[in-house]
Amino acid sequence: MEETAMNEREQSLLAAHEARIAALVAGDLDALAKVVGEDLVFVNAVGKVSRRPEIMAAFQGGSMKVERIDADNIETRFYGDTALLSYRAHTTVRDGDSVIDGLTQNTCVFVHRDGRWQMVNQHQCAIAGS
């Protein structure tokens, strides 16, 4: 029984992760708002720290555009209503004058609240040589 519950929990987390990536690439802010917490803190591959209001405004204003996120090597760990999800991705993102294009390693913190997983923190770093 525990294994089934974990599988359902992991599947729901992975579904939230996939929905977030799809929303980012599509520029669908309504879908993104469902899987990204109001308290989101994001550190991109060049060390820029952004919060949800800044990110949403950048998408709306056109200064941020996610062209590609091809994720693999996804790993999950659960700690009560908190989960860590890490993955590698080939990423192409335009953020103002910065362009991140290459392999990144990502660590995300999700919190299960209001019946769904929401990402509240992400740290991304470039993988050397990519």
Structural domains present in the chain = 2-126 (3.10.450.50)
35 exposed, middle or buried (CB, 10 Å; 0-12, 13-18, 19+)? buried
pLDDT score of 1 more than 60 = no
How confident is the model over 21-52, as pLDDT tens digits?
999 999 999 999 999 999 999 998 889 899 99
Say if residues 37 and 116 touch (Cβ distance below 8 Å). Answer: no
pLDDT of residue 120: 98
Q: How many CA atoms lie within 13 A of 56 on its CB side?
A: 16
- pTM of the shown model: 0.90
pLDDT of residue 76: 97
The span from the CA of 60 to the CA of 44, in Å, is: 19
